[in-house]
Structure 1
Amino acid sequence: MGELEEFLAPVDHSNPSGVELRNDARFHALERSLEPAARSARVVGDSATPRTPPIDWDGLLKDAAEMARSGRDLRLLAMVTRMATHQRGLEGLGDALSMLTATVEQCWDHLHPALRDAPSRREAALRRINALYQLENTDNGLMTDLALNTVFTLRGIGAVTGSDLAAVAINRATVISEAADGLGEKEKAALAAAHEAQVARTSTALKALATERPEELAALAAAAGRARAALSALEAALDARVAENGVGVRFAALGTLIGRIAQSLAGAEAAPADTAAPQADGAPAPVMPAPEGGAAIPGQITSRREVERCLDLIIDFYERTEPSSPLPHLARRMRKMVPMTFMQLMEEIAPSGMKEFRAVAGVIDEKSK
């Protein structure tokens, strides 16, 4: 965790988390300092290359550490996570998520924002949960940082971003299913063509990185894997303190992005070993065709992301071979349900029976409050 360990130090032995920082002028100054990192400031016009935000990340992290000596506040630590990611990339992200997990595990009883009196643990911790959900802010949050930041650069190819790497892990069907509703066929075709070009460029860059700088690729793949594990650990730590009736805390969008980046890097790291060995007679090894989308079907499904991947392949197959089949529509609905909690699934599958179910199970309907 390195330099981020200082954010776990006791603030005051009589008051281990100090004061709440939300109304501290220094906190608002930090928020303003992050404005140039917003998507709206970094992506201008039709430029394919995001601007690098003109921010002194080392200086901001020092300012945040100084402020943390006054109070332990999740809203500040969410900003620290972004600073560490800008400062040290995927490695910094993993360290920052581990710091958040340790904070939740060690300081939950006296952390800011304070718990409120409420009928459920989740409601009591709602301000804390919302503070962490800022990481998924798609304009000026960690999601934007990961998508737009450069992960590595190669001469002749240029910068490769997190968004580029994530694109390699998905196929055409996923791109279309995740696009805005209401797109026409021409718009879908243009979107698919742009995705194919992005994948081709990024795949070339990954192969070159594996050949020219394999140690760097291995380090990036390991860092992405640690970041994915650290996010899962944070979710587990929060679930232990707020989950009720099968409803926990999930950073679904952030987890998907990190997972796709990790998948692409791990696949590129493994590819040279799979294809470099010559045949026994000295002839080059045959090149095995990869399935569309760039990832093999797993022999055994071990995660929800692999479930989503398999459903994407099913959708893609039927759209290419049997466009009139109703099966891809059913598969899309199933894919949408993969990250849902138990209660969300019940709402999706049997909404008319939810009132009776809540009455029997004693579950509070948040919408009726």
Structure 2
Amino acid sequence: MAPVDVPSLLAEISPDAPCGADLSYDAAYLAVESLLAAGVRAGGMVDTGQEAQQEGPNWREIRGGCVELLGRTKDLRVCLTLAVALLMDDGLEGFRDGLALLRGLLERHWEHVWPQLDPDDGYDPLERMNIIASLSSPPGTFQDPLMFRQRAAMAPLTRSVQMGRFGLQDLDAAAAGGEGAPDAALINAAFEDTATEDLQAVADVLDGAIEHLDAIDAVLTDRVGAGRAPDLSGLRDQTLLRARAVVGEHLARRGAGEAPAGPDGAYAPAAPAGTGVALSGDIRSPQDVMAALNRVIDYYERHEPSSPVPLLIRRAQKLVSKSFLEIVQDLSPEILDQMHRLGGIDSM
């Protein structure tokens, strides 16, 4: 199936209403919601090209419905539903395009995209932030119909006709072991049997997805501030960057480039709970701090998903690279002028 035409979907609907009307009660909108809900009940899987993997909703029907709706409304909810349909239908290439669409809506249509900011509510962006936060919901989050992180981890990284297609979830399952776990040697053989140009194509797609996600984070931080912007590091660091590190490692073995560092170096699955495996190496830089915190977050999301600790750690991560005054401005902007006066610093 042909890729979606992102520039066309970003084009304004009319000069008077660039993002069209609110169609959240339109029959077509409700039909797409119903199809997605049916998929949650059926436990839909990502299409990896293997038999018996595509269950649940008709993702192409959802995709078509979203594309039609985006011709009449620019809506973040429709955009994210299309993004997951593209992921399920086209794998990581589709997900990259979905992130490109979300980025474009935020960069080009912030003032008018639906749900619109309500002046009677002080232009509170909370509804928008909650919608976008679903991109990075931890695996196993209750009532999460989109399940981006699980589905992105299921998307294949290998393209081996003989050995099969395997993704990040398979690597984690093989590392954990247990009944029914895929064989690590088979997964490695699938990578070895994947052509270099195919591995490079996967790496390029992941690079594009990460670039779009970083741009989304940047525009949200600029518009609403770091304290109110949703934390997308779970999707970025624990899924996309880890997948990129895996692919980069296999490319580097062939002399096709250096393996990029993941959130904590090269790919390493999280240790099972209770194994007593500790962080290795001294912490000598802000990058080491971020890597250590990411591993703590990964533990909680895997083994204690209801804990609020990851939220607090991610809040702290946003402060790692900031100066003292930048931290004060982020945490308590109302006292920044007082700090300037006490320190004899000119206000910006």
Distance 1:163 1:302, change over 3 A: farther
Counterparts of 1:271-350 in structure 2, within 5 Å, are: 271-273=253-255, 293=268, 303=287, 307-308=291-292, 339-341=314-316
Cα distance in structure 1, aligned partners of 2:186 and 2:289: 25
Which residue does 2:200 correspond to in 1?
Answer: 218
Cα offsets for 1:329-364 (capped at 9, x unmatched): xxxx9998653247999xxxxxxxxxx9698569xx
Which residue does 1:161 correspond to in 2?
Answer: 167
8 Å CA contact 1:297–1:310 kept in 2: the answer is no
Cα distance in structure 2, aligned partners of 1:89 and 1:153: 12
Cα distance in structure 2, aligned partners of 1:205 and 1:305: 31
Which residue does 1:117 correspond to in 2?
Answer: 119
Which residue does 1:143 correspond to in 2?
Answer: 149
Which amino acid in 2 is paired with 1:271?
Answer: R
Which residue does 2:128 correspond to in 1?
Answer: 128
Shift of 1:267: 1.3
Cα offsets for 1:209-244 (capped at 9, x unmatched): 334422211111221122122111111111111116
Distance 1:19 1:247, change over 3 A: closer
Distance 1:310 1:25, change over 3 A: closer
8 Å CA contact 1:36–1:53 kept in 2: the answer is no
Shift of 1:261: 1.4
Which amino acid in 2 is paired with 1:161?
Answer: G
Which residue does 1:57 correspond to in 2?
Answer: 59
Normalising by structure 1, what TM-score?
A: 0.63
Which amino acid in 2 is paired with 1:216?
Answer: D
Shift of 1:38: 3.1
Which residue does 1:327 correspond to in 2?
Answer: none
Is 1:81 aligned to residue 83 of structure 2?
A: yes
Shift of 1:83: 1.7
Cα distance in structure 2, aligned partners of 1:344 and 1:166: 30
Higher relative contact order (CA 8 A, sep 6+): 1
8 Å CA contact 1:149–1:162 kept in 2: the answer is yes
Is 1:236 aligned to residue 242 of structure 2?
A: no
Cα distance in structure 1, aligned partners of 2:288 and 2:211: 14
Cα distance in structure 2, aligned partners of 1:265 and 1:336: 29
Which amino acid in 1 is paired with 2:251?
Answer: E
Which residue does 1:254 correspond to in 2?
Answer: 235
Cα distance in structure 1, aligned partners of 2:135 and 2:267: 32
Residue identity over aligned pairs, in percent, reads 20
Which amino acid in 2 is paired with 1:143?
Answer: R
8 Å CA contact 2:156–2:166 kept in 1: the answer is yes
Normalising by structure 2, what TM-score?
A: 0.66
Which amino acid in 2 is paired with 1:21?
Answer: L
Shift of 1:311: 6.0
Cα distance in structure 2, aligned partners of 1:133 and 1:336: 12
Cα distance in structure 1, aligned partners of 2:61 and 2:289: 37
Cα distance in structure 2, aligned partners of 1:72 and 1:4: 12
Cα distance in structure 2, aligned partners of 1:102 and 1:265: 27
Shift of 1:57: 3.3
SS of residue paired to 2:110: helix
Task: Return 5+ residue gaps in structure 2 as ranges.
Answer: 46-50, 257-264, 271-279, 300-307, 321-330, 338-348
Task: Return 5+ residue gaps in structure 1 as ranges.
Answer: 44-48, 173-191, 275-289, 316-332, 346-355, 363-369
Q: Which of 241, 259, 270 pairs up with 2:252?
A: 270
Which amino acid in 1 is paired with 2:153?
Answer: A
Q: Which has the higher helix share?
A: 1
8 Å CA contact 1:85–1:93 kept in 2: the answer is yes
Cα distance in structure 1, aligned partners of 2:96 and 2:217: 14
Cα distance in structure 2, aligned partners of 1:50 and 1:344: 46
8 Å CA contact 1:10–1:17 kept in 2: the answer is yes
Shift of 1:134: 2.8
Distance 1:311 1:111, change over 3 A: closer
Cα offsets for 1:130-178 (capped at 9, x unmatched): 122233454421223213344445456434134124668xxx8xxxxxx
8 Å CA contact 2:20–2:73 kept in 1: the answer is yes
Shift of 1:273: 2.6
Please identify, of 256-265 and 159-168, the stretch whose mean Cα deviation from structure 2 is larger.
Answer: 159-168
